[in-house]
Structure 1
Amino acid sequence: MSTMDSSSRLPSIGEYYAGKNIFLTGASGFIGKVLIEKLLRSCPNVNKIFMLMRPKKSQDIDQRVEEICKCPVYDKLRKEQPNFHEKLVPIFGDITLPELGIKPEDLKLLCDNVNVVFHSAATIRFDEHLRVAVDMNVIAVRKMTVLCKQFKHLEVFIHISTAYANCDRPFIEEMVYNPPVDPQKLIDVLEWMDDDMITSITPKLIGNKPNTYTYTKHLAEHLLVKEGSDLPLAIVRPSIVGAAWKEPVPGWIDNYNGPSGLYVAAGKGILRSMKGDYRGVADIIPVDIPVNMIIAAAWYTAVTKPSSCLIYHSTTGSVNPFTWGELEGVVMNFWKKVPLDSCFRRPKAALTSSGFLHDFYTFIEHMLPAYVADLGYCLLGKRPRMVKIYNRLHKAIGTLTYFTMHSWEWSYSNLDMLTSHMSPEDKKCFYFDPRGLHWPTYIENYCLGTKKFLLNEDLSGLPAAKAHLRKLRNIRYCFNTIVLIAVWRVLIARSELARNLWYLIIGLMNRFVKFFRLTSTIHKQ
């Protein structure tokens, strides 16, 4: 319940963020970049955004910020606010370091100024070692909780979790479920175990969870509400975050995670088979939807001061479902119309729930062509690569199989409640209701986004790409014809029945040709 009467006028979202200082972790991530862009463009009076950042690849934190600001996601913002980068303040730190590695002078700066906290940093690798996953997804939340308790002007702390934190349940409500083990007990155990021992007991620890990511995200939520009970908290749970729907650019994407890599693999003709439920719900959420929800949830928490931590689901499955089978059809049709450059084979992928059929197709359609291609590379004096590519692809598919074979439902009471408190202008600007999403258009924009933003392919090369597809089609037809003739010749040589059938076909063809010539002669006379 809120301490403010819902009938009283709330400040608009833009009004609330005016003059506010924000602390953001995960600023260089997919959600982080879009969150920064949306905040600065739609709430232009935001004062500063402090970003926890570590040096990377011979770049210090200032150089990393400069590189991030050059990203295409900020093109629209750059035109409206050329000096937007002046509001971005990097803070040296790392979520894996003690006390986040923040320097004393930076800590004082944050404690004296921060009003809003968005915690987005995490490891999103599904196959991450449990020790690393706990360190980055659980212990880091504790460090953030301790840090936020020192902020003198903190108004809200938003934790970005995942809709799959409780994926061992078919129906997930807006609540924090009790974890299978107390987070502190697990942390204590991991301190004295070596990596091999942890690896051996991980399957038993995670139980019905498919991976360490969902397992540690569940633990992190419980730890947060327990140890941060005196903080103004809210949790946002997005499902599979995909390319942008409307903003900042339709189809914008900057990573190969989740479906993005699969779309590219299918478009290149590399992915031919994937295990999944044809009728299962593909719960993909465009990145701008959870970003808008994060901003709105922070606003509502700060201005109404709810008495408990509210959970917000940012998913599509229960309100606007789209199946994996429907997704496959849209993706394949799009790649035929707008092919990628230099395809390995013609785009043609099949979804099957049968493990036997998937293994069969994997061997016939993936590994055999891969070994043949690598043999060709070796004969040409080039480095073989296709087998290695397919091994990586199969590993990625394996981590996603659990999600393509299952479907879930979520409750949306808090989503509807949050919408009811927003003004018509804010609803339009900070949209987060997925009911209006038209899936075929979105998926086509998504595929186009992978072509433009991930592969950097220009549409001017489309005629050449189509010509390459026709070439691959002709090669395929020639290959099939050669194989058919070779098999038939073997049958003729070994089977009298096959020889008789062959002679019958040849005889009928001769009669047809003679009849056609006779008919043509009569017509001429």
Structure 2
Amino acid sequence: MERHVKWFRDQVVFLTGGTGNLGVCLLYKLTLQLPTKKIFLLCRGSVQRALDKLEAAMAEQFDDVLDSHRVQFMVGDTSKPGLGLKPSDLRQLQEEVTVVINAAADISLQQPLHLSIQPNCIAHLQLLTLLRGFSRIKSFLHVSSTSVNSFLPDGIIEEQIYPLSDDNPDPEKVLSQILSTGQSAYTDNFIAPYALCKHLAERLILKQADLPFKTLIVRPSLIGPAIRDPYPFYGNDEGMPLQSALYNLATDPDYGLDELGKGINLDAVFDEIPVDLVASTCLAHLAAGSVGIVQAAGSLYVAATTGEITTTMIQGVAPTGIEKVRRGEIRQRQNLAPMFFQVARKYMRNWDIRCDRSEHLKEHTGVLGLSLDGHDPKAFMKHRWQNVSKSVSGLSST
């Protein structure tokens, strides 16, 4: 793996979504664990807004990231032409960047299709078109999601593209219909409109066979808190669907802890992977020159069923917290429990998401390896739910 680490010495990386859950972890690794030559970070709104988000996400590591003097912030927006960049900034990217990591997305499960299609499909295609003008680019990494295949029946899901139906509709025609009507006949087949949009983005990115650089798509499954980097339990609830779902379900007396198992397949594998293992998978495959589809799912960490996760969570919640929930004394101000419950029912399936292209990384330690040496998954999970329990019990009555 040392050869792959050294590969970063000559790389100038352009990172989108760098203040998001996975983006922060990627930025940390690129600046403090790898000898990356330079990182351009796209900031939406203002540089100060990005700095505030980064400091909130990794307060203890924040100064070290800035003191590396390898991060350059650029204000822009993936939804705008030319990324909304100043002409001088765009020229600098075009002349210097060798690697692009596109981790930007709107992962809201509530976003309707006509609003989700822009940030989760159109913006990616616009970026790809822009990259044709980058003179030094070698590799493009697009972060997708295993939910792109949530329309499939139970069974094995390989690292490949699957057609939406037996008649294999043209993704361009499906996208055109969405743009003209705001609707699609395929929406209800997915766990959320977001997943359909990401599916179309994958299809349309890989359809462009004449790209002058390597194209890699990494599909993480549900992302969980970090086991090591930038620190244990790093991660925000918005970027961790399992944590958000259980938090909202556990604080709604109409669903609550007594209802979690009803209507959900407790024997299904709950496919979740720590965010830092996803980041390592992305960076290892970039350095290896991988192209096509790579999946980063729970089999690269520790497989657990929905029932096991739920039981561990309930055991970690303080009895007083459970009673408060049952008596209705704890309730979220925004009632998201019904939505999360329906999503959970769709997602808890008997899928076997294969990660064959990354299995070898489990044998390696270090920044690009996925070895679990020195890590106790059971103790980690127990501590995790104890942290969630404190948050639940600390909610004020409404």
State the TM-score, normalizing by the size of structure 2. Answer: 0.85
Query: Structure 2 CA distance, aligned partners of 1:91 and 1:97?
Result: 14
Match of 2:32 in 1: 41
Which amino acid in 1 is paired with 2:158?
Answer: E
Question: What is the total number of aligned residue pairs between the two structures?
Answer: 383
**Structure 1 residues 400 and 266: CA distance shift in structure 2, 3 A:** closer
**Structure 1 residues 244 and 387: CA distance shift in structure 2, 3 A:** closer
Match of 2:208 in 1: 227
**Structure 1 residues 175 and 13: CA distance shift in structure 2, 3 A:** same
2:132 to 110, 124, 149: 149
Query: Structure 1 CA distance, aligned partners of 2:374 and 2:163?
Result: 34
State the TM-score, normalizing by the size of structure 1. Answer: 0.66
**Structure 1 residues 317 and 413: CA distance shift in structure 2, 3 A:** closer
**Cα deviation, residue 151, structure 1:** 1.2
Query: Structure 2 CA distance, aligned partners of 1:144 and 1:178?
Result: 24
Match of 1:20 in 2: 11
**Structure 1 residues 450 and 91: CA distance shift in structure 2, 3 A:** farther
Q: Does 1:63 align with 2:51?
A: no
**Cα deviation, residue 17, structure 1:** 1.0
Deviations for 1:159-216, whole angstroms, at most 9, x for unmatched residues? Answer: 11111211233321111223453332233334433xxxx3xx44x2335323212211
**Structure 1 residues 138 and 82: CA distance shift in structure 2, 3 A:** closer
Which amino acid in 1 is paired with 2:99?
Answer: V
Q: Does 1:395 align with 2:362?
A: no
Runs of 4+ in structure 1 deviating by more than 6 angstroms, as ranges, are 434-437
Is residue 316–residue 389 contact of structure 2 (8 Å, CA) maintained in 1? no
More helix by share: 1
Query: Structure 1 CA distance, aligned partners of 2:332 and 2:54?
Result: 37
Match of 2:315 in 1: 333
Q: Which has the larger radius of gyration?
A: 1
Query: Structure 1 CA distance, aligned partners of 2:339 and 2:88?
Result: 44
Match of 1:298 in 2: 286
**Cα deviation, residue 414, structure 1:** 1.1
Query: Structure 2 CA distance, aligned partners of 1:244 and 1:226?
Result: 34
Identity of aligned residues (%): 22
Match of 1:314 in 2: 296
Q: CA RMSD in A?
A: 3.1
Q: Does 1:442 align with 2:380?
A: yes
Q: Does 1:178 align with 2:163?
A: yes
Q: How does 1:7-406 map to 2 (within 5 A)?
A: 12-43=3-34, 45-55=35-45, 61-76=46-61, 78=63, 83-84=67-68, 86-169=69-152, 170-180=155-165, 181-193=169-181, 198=182, 201-202=183-184, 204-206=185-187, 208-227=189-208, 229-230=210-211, 231-256=213-238, 257-265=240-248, 270=253, 271-272=256-257, 273-274=259-260, 275-301=263-289, 309-317=291-299, 320-336=302-318, 343=321, 345-346=323-324, 370=328, 386=331, 389=334, 391-404=335-348, 406=349
Match of 2:355 in 1: 412
5+ residue gaps, structure 1, are 1-9, 56-60, 348-364, 374-384, 458-464, 469-525
**Structure 1 residues 11 and 327: CA distance shift in structure 2, 3 A:** closer
Query: Structure 2 CA distance, aligned partners of 1:229 and 1:127?
Result: 35
Is residue 40–residue 71 contact of structure 2 (8 Å, CA) maintained in 1? yes
Deviations for 1:88-109, whole angstroms, at most 9, x for unmatched residues? Answer: 2222222222232223211101
**Structure 1 residues 163 and 214: CA distance shift in structure 2, 3 A:** same
SS in 2 for 1:52: strand
Query: Structure 2 CA distance, aligned partners of 1:329 and 1:441?
Result: 14
